[in-house]
Amino acid sequence: MTVKTAQSGLDINLRWAQGQVFNDKRRFRVLVAGRRFGKSYLSCIELLKGAIDRPGETFFYCAPTYRMAKDIAWKALKKLVPKVWIESKNETDLRLELINGSTIELKGTENAMALRGRSLAGVVLDEAAFMDAEVWFEVIRPALADKQGWALFISTPDGTASWFYDLWCYCKEDATEEWKRWCYTTIEGGNVPKDEVEAARAQLDGRTFRQEFEASFENLSGLVAISFGDDNISAESVDINVMPLLLGVDFNVDPMSGICAVRSGDTLYVFDEIIMTGGATTWDFAEEVTRRYGVDRRIVACPDPTGGARKTSGVGATDHSILRRNGFNVSSPKAPWKIRDKITAVNTALLDANGDRRTIIHPRCKELIKSLRTLTYAPNTGLPNKNLGVDHAFDAFGYLCLQQFNLAKPETLGQTGYRIY
């Protein structure tokens, strides 16, 4: 569909679902949508229309971080606004001043208190579910009061233990008729072919797929490894010694944990685990691996990425360099993954959204099996409960899964690469 703003004469192309949100006149609107729906494009259009309709006012686009604001919306906004409408542009502050005196500013909310003291006529909170509650309740909502400004919340879901989910529920109960909510899947957004979404289904576990592409609020409570089942356990998972030994490693914890596997096709066969207690060092761990599997075996270690910068106490060498000195190949990115990425990788490897199991674990891997069966989320956090003491084997297995299985970035769908929130 094509939407024409009332005062500007600007022609704007919107998909049907985007148009439903854009055309609604309620003051507070909440859009929950799947990946690649076109949320950021809609955000820029909303801000531009607001700036045109209310000359001389200030409008905010807010993202969880400054970097996200710049990467997601800044280029899109500059492309959307005709150059003849721009009075001034600040590339550092991400601010556009229009010839009618209105200003559009892009902000990261990682330091919410720095946004205090402003008076706003309108705001878009993009990926609002990933912001702290104080951003809305203590900073943005008061900033809208004197101008009676509007707010548009746009986000993929992030579980039910969050302020954003509470806000979503409030919209349904609101008696003032100031609030309205919508929920659209990626397919309903109309920007992504169905076959691309189906390709992503095979690269994510069921819960993550529903959250990211079907815009479902998933309950992040109970067991972390929700995809794990008895079908993942089999004595058929044996070492194939002509193949490289794949080693997931969780460093500098007690117990230090290693998960041993080989990969055949798309299946990961976990056949052994190395669990060392009593303050074992990375040197001790490397020696144990060599003792079990010899010096001639090609070993590919998939460790905790932070081990590339952290030096083991009293040694002066990083954990990764110690592994290399012992003849291991180290496969790890420079920056650590998000915890959610690791959980997604584990659950996808155990059972993807198509119902395929890519990991078989030998019954002798008792600590890993115990970890998968008993690790739960800490209450009201959406994160694993570290206090249970069963997370180390899970973490080692997670690093292995992240390195061995390319997970689809929701941003690029069928393309390979690691998933980034």
Over residues 311-344, the pLDDT tens digits come to 654 567 888 999 999 889 998 887 777 888 899 8
Alpha-carbon torsion angle 182, 187, 190, 196, nearest 10: 150
Question: Which tens digit of pLDDT belongs to each residue from 101-154?
Answer: 999 999 999 888 888 888 999 999 999 999 999 999 999 999 999 999 999 999
Dig out the tokens for 115 from the structure: 């946004």
Q: What topology does CATH give the domain 230-404?
A: Nucleotidyltransferase; domain 5 (3.30.420)
CATH 3.40.50.300-classified regions of the chain: 2-192
Beta bridge mates, 2: 13
pLDDT of residue 346: 92
Q: What topology does CATH give the domain 2-192?
A: Rossmann fold (3.40.50)
Dig out the tokens for 167 from the structure: 């806000």
The model's pTM: 0.70
pLDDT of residue 306: 81
Report yes or no: 124 and 152 within 8 Å, Cβ to Cβ.
yes
Furthest-apart CA pair in the chain: how many Å? 76
pLDDT of residue 140: 93
* Preceding omega of 255 cis (within 30 degrees of 0): yes
- Neighbouring CB atoms inside 10 A of 202's CB total 17
The CA-atom distances, in angstroms, between 148 and each of 57, 81, 106, 116, 154 are 12, 25, 20, 17, 20
Backbone angles phi, psi at 66, to 5 degrees: -60, -40
Backbone angles phi, psi at 311, to 5 degrees: -95, 130
CATH 3.30.420.280-classified regions of the chain: 230-404
Q: What is the C-alpha separation between 142 and 146, in angstroms, rounded?
A: 8
Q: What is the C-alpha separation between 252 and 284, in angstroms, rounded?
A: 11
Report yes or no: 95 and 59 within 8 Å, Cβ to Cβ.
no
Which residue numbers in the chain have pLDDT < 50? 2-7, 313, 408-421
Beta bridge mates, 107: 62
